[in-house]
Structure 1
Amino acid sequence: MDDSASHASYLLPVLVFCGAAVVAVPIFRRIGLGAVLGYLCAGVIIGPDGLALIGEPDTVAGIAEIGVVLLLFIVGLELNLSRLFAMRRDIFGLGLTQLLMTAGVAVLALTASGVPIRGSVVTGLALALSATAIALQTLEERGDLHTAYGERSFAILLFQDLSIVPILALVSLLGTTTALSTDNGSVVATLFEVARALIAVAAVVLIGRYLLNPFFRLLASSGAREVMTAAALLVVLGAAFVMESVGLSMAMGAFLAGVLLAESNFRHQLEADIEPFRGVLLGLFFMSVGMSIDLDVVFAHIGLLALAVPGLVIAKAVIGAAAGRIFGGKWRDNLKMGALLGPAGEFSFVIFPLAGSRGLLDADQVQIVTALAALTMLIGPIFAKIVDRVLERARPVEDTGHADLEAFADATGKVIVIGFGRFGQVVNQILLAQRIDVTVIDRDVDRIREASRFGFKVYYGDGTRLDVLRASGASEATVICVCVDRPETSLTIVEILSAEFPGAAIYARAIDRAHAIALMQQDVDYQLRETFESALTLGRAALEELGYRREDAIAVQDDVRRRDVARLMLQKSEGFLGGADLLHHGLAAVVTPEPLTEPPTSPQGLSAETRDILAGEDTAR
């Protein structure tokens, strides 16, 4: 049996990683820089060039990469093949344009600085790749993954993952004595590798299309939850392993498996099973990147890196925005997209050592470009945050062009509903049932497309923008219903409406109790927690099932509602702990239903037992 020291050797790194995460991430979130930067900085601090709490970061890099794999699987679950096919123009058009433009500029800069042309080509292509994990995590934190710029950013990242195999093949080809002196054997070997990759992709597609659903149905019939979790990990890691064995990205295999299961009945269960592993391992991945930064190399070339790191991030952002403009889209969205693409990609840590082993870069150059790539991952999220804040503050009325606002020319509704999600759709149904003219605004393109299929008219627009609200007729509206999903967005909209459109009554959806109190403090005319009334109704139905009369159950429901409203008012003035004495804690007196008006006749018992009970009550009085 192992001694206690050997167990402690495994336990200490786990404690270090967990401790670094729980300290750094809340701090960076609190100051508005996001979790990604918190993990990266934590990695630098605990790494070999920081406090040296983790001496060999390479030992965790392999496990940490699984976090990226699981992230891509969950993203794949949100898509499906038809939607992926609809994105083909952005994937292969915009993605290829961004990669070639960025690589071209990088090659020119590297060649001018004295790097040989073959090394410049490989390095330029590697630096043109972007950090998939950082970009997707940032989009997820913002809730923008399914916005227009979020989907286009993802399309570019997907194309970059697809381009990894050709880039690795190019490194092998350029690794010969001259750039063009490849023999037939090298060409045949390259074609063989490409064929293996295509066969592996076809195998994953066929298995996912015809075998995975029956496989999960069989496991679900066993009723063992832990087996379903193990099966989910088996599918994800198995697809990743197959792709890696033929030279493709592990993340690419996991993403493909997710897409194939996107229409499965088990999609939500798989996502719930994978999510805890994804969050922990993705944080570990970001910390491993931070630990990989060699501070000795950084300080030895501090002048060069001080210029190259921000220069690369800004150049990639500008080029990405320019590529996005070529393929249409708003300049604001293109700038956000470009800023997300600023950090170098995770696969650069594979390409650079390979280029060094093939003689395309010398040892010193490999160290410098590796440090450059790692530092862009550290600086990139900060730059993206700065760009996002600047764009949010610099928002003149005319910045979106006239075309978007002209779309509201026929919007004449006396009621405006902002947000057409599951809550807003029900609100809209109530209003349309009485033929009330409604103007509905949403910024989710998919929701708008789905609404049009059912005959609803939903305008594309951002409810946090004053120009959009004016164009939609907010100044003439009688009621404005704020039904968006995110509390912070809701509060921003309510603040704008209160200041600019005092004549409209504001009815707001509250996500939870804290959000409801915040809305009340902004003096909305009416707020309702999305789950409150449905929970009251369910509780009343449960009482009726237990044998209570319907009238009694309704009386209890009304009592809880009355207490809750009173408690909300106290919490608004006294803080979140106010009104705690109004709660039913189980030891409180049982609610005795009483009629609102005195009955005209005295009660009459219909059975001997009932007459005895009534007689006892009269005696007690």
Structure 2
Amino acid sequence: MDDLLTLTVVLLATAVASVVLFRRMRLPPLLAYLLAGLAVGPFGFGWVQNTDSIQHLAEFGIVFLLFTLGLEFSIPRLLTLRRVVFGAGPLQVAITGLLVFAVMRLLGFSVTMATITACALALSSTAIVVRDLIGRGAVNTGYGRAATGILLFQDLAAVLMLVLLPLISLGDADNVMAAAGMILGKSLLLFAGIFVAGKWILPRLLEETGRARSDEVFVMSALLLALVAAWVTHEMGLSMALGAFLAGMMLGESHFRHQIEADLRPFRDLLLGLFFVSVGMLVDPDLFADQWHWIILAALALMLFKTLLVFGLLRLLRERPETALRSGLILGQGGEFGFVLVALAVSHGMISPGKAGLLVSITVLTMAFTPALLEHSGALTQRLLRAWQTLPDSPSLDQDTHQHVILCGYGRVGQNLMRYLTRFHQAAVAIDMDLVRIQEASAAGEKILFGDASRKDILEKAGIDRASLVVVTFDNARLAERIIHTVRDLNPAVRVLVRTRDDTHLDALTQAGATEVVPEVLEASLMLVAQALMMQGVPFVRVLAMLRQSRRERYQMLRGYYHGDSLPTSDSAGNPYRLLHAVVLTDRARAIGQALGECRLRDVEVRALRRGEQMINAPEPEQRLLSGDTLILYGPLEAVEAAEARLLGG
């Protein structure tokens, strides 16, 4: 008991420390679990020598992984992406697998080792790629759908590999065929049984447990379903993962799916983390030290080949070059199912732990590169396609064009602006770096250039010396500042209009040389104020005058607000956050009887003074302060706190 408790504490402490460290470095938690296994395993500090007990428990992580994969498996989604799933998916897995198998055989490895390596490296990481796509909101983009379709087939192929992997150890072709026929027959029988149970029996059982209105009963029922399915397939001589996947797939069509998935996620993540810890124990640092050059070469070769293969297959399916290349870049790594196959092969005695460690090292290295590729895949795609000259020809700007508008960024705001400029017969040219957008806009006959709007050559090509107005249509203050500085170097007289989200960077952009800055949040507030005043019967002329005055004063009346408990200490640029704060002068306040100017308040602005029912906006320095007065201060947090202390005498 003491040994088990010690082992549990060591594994959890190492895993937690590794995950926290990797999160800060923006690396996948999966790599943290592998590192934890390496650290505590027999090749690390040696805190865990006997890994058998851990591996038996870790197998349940695979059961729950396949069960939740089945829950997420959707027939309608499969049919929607069928062109990629059944077109590029099978070819990618087959071609990658055959090439890896051939290379392994040429290097003198056995058929078993070559086959396991081919199956493992043909797969990519669903966990890393899909999580990143969801985080970026890119699941429904062109490259997101293409990558998801290929990953969907890889998941199906992984399930089939897990079922058929034990056949590799039989060796004799007749035995393999007989065993394969037996497995196929059992699988069909199992599928039929689980289909009947999932269609008519399991939903009614879950409804009964739901009527109990007990979270514990429902969680236990979900656990029982996954484990019973795994137990049935194990007793039939099949993979436990197959039964879990089929059970999850049957329940995936029911309205209990999301609740089951939420209940099982903690168990899945914990046991799956334990599984990856056990895989990390297979890695031998001495092996990496001896073979590091081959491991790095293999990892780079694999990522390059898979990237080019996915690019080529998607281009054959008539996907856009940007979609095809970006999909290839994010699918170049090995995946978590590769670790599952390796661990299963080791448990069946098909490969030695040393060779398994070599394969795990290659896969881990490819996954370590993945976060950087995901982060920069868009920019890298654009650079590569530009180098390969796959961009559409940029429209030539008429040299006689004068007083035109240059739009920096051609997203939704830029396109709306272009429509109205065209409607009022104003010449305009846009600059953007989205290849698909450029292709579509160019095909529609619009004037749009590819490039970075902060570069002098791009602005010169857009006719900056003859332009009358430059509009920055995207919300990126730092890039907007670079664009403003470049524009001012090339044409000091041109007016510059900049869009921002709020007033955080308003002063900095104005100082950089922006003629006008339009903060979305403040403009929305201003429009809401105008509509409210007109609905209350205020004449339109007075409302229009208010709008003009607010803009002339650069939204001074709208800037700053009472934050409540959720007070940020700095803005997105790292500058001290400015806020409104009300200070009530009590009878013992130090400032009573003094003129406002005598209080020597630094770095704050006194927006207003409330005295009873009277509100004095922007009070003069000569204004005397009385007991009960309320001062509305505006400024950075530290300056506001210092001013309050000075007023109250604290």
Q: Deviations over 1:425-462 (max 9, x none)?
A: 7767876776767767684969999x99xx99898977
In the alignment, is the contact (CA less than 8 A) between 2:407 and 2:473 conserved in 1? no
Over 3 Å counting, the alpha-carbon distance change for 1:69 and 1:63 in structure 2 is same
- AA at the equivalent of 2:364: M
* Residue 418 of structure 1, aligned match among 382, 402, 409: 409
In the alignment, is the contact (CA less than 8 A) between 2:222 and 2:263 conserved in 1? no
- AA at the equivalent of 2:575: F
**SS class of match (1:405):** coil
Q: Which residue of 1 aligns with 2:392?
A: 404
Q: Which residue of 1 aligns with 2:88?
A: 94
Q: Which residue of 1 aligns with 2:306?
A: 319
1:207: how far off?
Answer: 12
- AA at the equivalent of 2:331: L
Q: Deviations over 1:268-324 (max 9, x none)?
A: xx89x9999989987996796367323763414643454135414422432331342
Report how many aligned residue pairs link the two structures.
546
Q: State how far apart, in whole Å, the 2-side matches of 1:458 and 1:185 are.
A: 64
TM-score between the two structures when normalised by the length of structure 2:
0.60
**SS class of match (2:407):** strand
Unaligned runs of 5+ in 2: 234-239, 562-569, 585-607, 619-650
Q: Which residue of 1 aligns with 2:160?
A: 166
The answer on 1:43 being equivalent to 2:8 is: no
Q: Bigger relative contact order, structure 1 or 2, given CA contacts below 8 A and separation 6+?
A: 1
Q: Which residue of 2 aligns with 1:25?
A: 23
Describe how 1:315-394 pairs up with structure 2 within 5 A.
315-328=302-315, 336-356=326-346, 361-362=350-351, 364=352, 366-382=353-369, 385=372, 392=380
- AA at the equivalent of 1:576: N
Over 3 Å counting, the alpha-carbon distance change for 1:88 and 1:428 in structure 2 is farther
**SS class of match (1:111):** helix
Q: State how far apart, in whole Å, the 2-side matches of 1:252 and 1:467 are.
A: 59
Q: Deviations over 1:460-483 (max 9, x none)?
A: 977679699679957476555444
In the alignment, is the contact (CA less than 8 A) between 1:510 and 1:528 conserved in 2? yes
**SS class of match (2:173):** coil
Q: Which residue of 2 aligns with 1:602?
A: none
Q: Which residue of 1 aligns with 2:121?
A: 127
Over 3 Å counting, the alpha-carbon distance change for 1:534 and 1:252 in structure 2 is farther
1:190: how far off?
Answer: 1.3
In the alignment, is the contact (CA less than 8 A) between 1:42 and 1:287 conserved in 2? no
Q: State how far apart, in whole Å, the 2-side matches of 1:436 and 1:70 are.
A: 59
Unaligned runs of 5+ in 1: 597-621
Q: State how far apart, in whole Å, the 1-side matches of 2:452 and 2:250 are.
A: 35
**SS class of match (1:130):** coil
In the alignment, is the contact (CA less than 8 A) between 1:67 and 1:279 conserved in 2? no
Q: State how far apart, in whole Å, the 2-side matches of 1:70 and 1:590 are.
A: 64
- AA at the equivalent of 2:393: L
Over 3 Å counting, the alpha-carbon distance change for 1:109 and 1:316 in structure 2 is same
The answer on 1:584 being equivalent to 2:581 is: yes
Q: State how far apart, in whole Å, the 1-side matches of 2:56 and 2:499 are.
A: 48
Describe how 1:411-450 pairs up with structure 2 within 5 A.
414=405, 416=407, 418-421=409-412, 443=434
Aligned Cα root-mean-square deviation (Å): 6.6
Q: State how far apart, in whole Å, the 2-side matches of 1:324 and 1:521 are.
A: 45
1:531: how far off?
Answer: 3.1
1:166: how far off?
Answer: 2.7
Q: Which residue of 2 aligns with 1:510?
A: 500
Q: State how far apart, in whole Å, the 1-side matches of 2:67 and 2:301 are.
A: 29
1:107: how far off?
Answer: 0.7
1:355: how far off?
Answer: 3.5
Describe how 1:105-116 pairs up with structure 2 within 5 A.
105-116=99-110
Over 3 Å counting, the alpha-carbon distance change for 1:134 and 1:431 in structure 2 is same
- AA at the equivalent of 1:157: L
Describe how 1:132-531 pairs up with structure 2 within 5 A.
132-139=126-133, 145-182=139-176, 184=178, 186-194=180-188, 196-197=190-191, 247-248=241-242, 289=276, 292-294=279-281, 297-300=284-287, 302-304=289-291, 306-328=293-315, 336-356=326-346, 361-362=350-351, 364=352, 366-382=353-369, 385=372, 392=380, 395=383, 398-399=386-387, 401=389, 403-406=391-394, 414=405, 416=407, 418-421=409-412, 443=434, 473=462, 475=464, 478-484=468-474, 487=476, 491-492=478-479, 495-496=482-483, 498-499=485-486, 502=490, 505-511=495-501, 514=504, 523-531=513-521
**SS class of match (1:584):** strand
Over 3 Å counting, the alpha-carbon distance change for 1:290 and 1:341 in structure 2 is farther
**SS class of match (2:334):** coil
**SS class of match (1:129):** coil
1:174: how far off?
Answer: 3.3
Q: Deviations over 1:27-82 (max 9, x none)?
A: x24xxxx4558746863686446568999875995797799789979998xx9947
In the alignment, is the contact (CA less than 8 A) between 2:283 and 2:357 conserved in 1? no
Identity %: 18
- AA at the equivalent of 2:330: L
TM-score between the two structures when normalised by the length of structure 1:
0.62
Q: State how far apart, in whole Å, the 1-side matches of 2:246 and 2:480 are.
A: 39
Over 3 Å counting, the alpha-carbon distance change for 1:561 and 1:290 in structure 2 is farther
1:128: how far off?
Answer: 1.2
In the alignment, is the contact (CA less than 8 A) between 1:463 and 1:469 conserved in 2? yes
Q: Deviations over 1:89-142 (max 9, x none)?
A: 222222222211211111112222333324422331122112222233455566
Q: Deviations over 1:394-431 (max 9, x none)?
A: 94895252552358999x9846373535x667767876
Over 3 Å counting, the alpha-carbon distance change for 1:111 and 1:533 in structure 2 is same
- AA at the equivalent of 1:499: T
Q: Deviations over 1:477-498 (max 9, x none)?
A: 655544447x4xx644663575
**SS class of match (1:90):** helix
- AA at the equivalent of 1:351: L
Q: Which residue of 1 aligns with 2:625?
A: none
In the alignment, is the contact (CA less than 8 A) between 1:94 and 1:323 conserved in 2? yes
Q: Which moved more, 1:56-65 or 1:491-500?
A: 56-65
Q: State how far apart, in whole Å, the 2-side matches of 1:430 and 1:67 are.
A: 55
Q: State how far apart, in whole Å, the 1-side matches of 2:509 and 2:200 are.
A: 51
Q: Deviations over 1:173-227 (max 9, x none)?
A: 434341343455641431441564588689989999x99xxx9xx99xxxx9x99
Q: State how far apart, in whole Å, the 1-side matches of 2:68 and 2:521 are.
A: 30
1:347: how far off?
Answer: 1.6
Q: Which residue of 1 aligns with 2:236?
A: none
- AA at the equivalent of 1:123: T
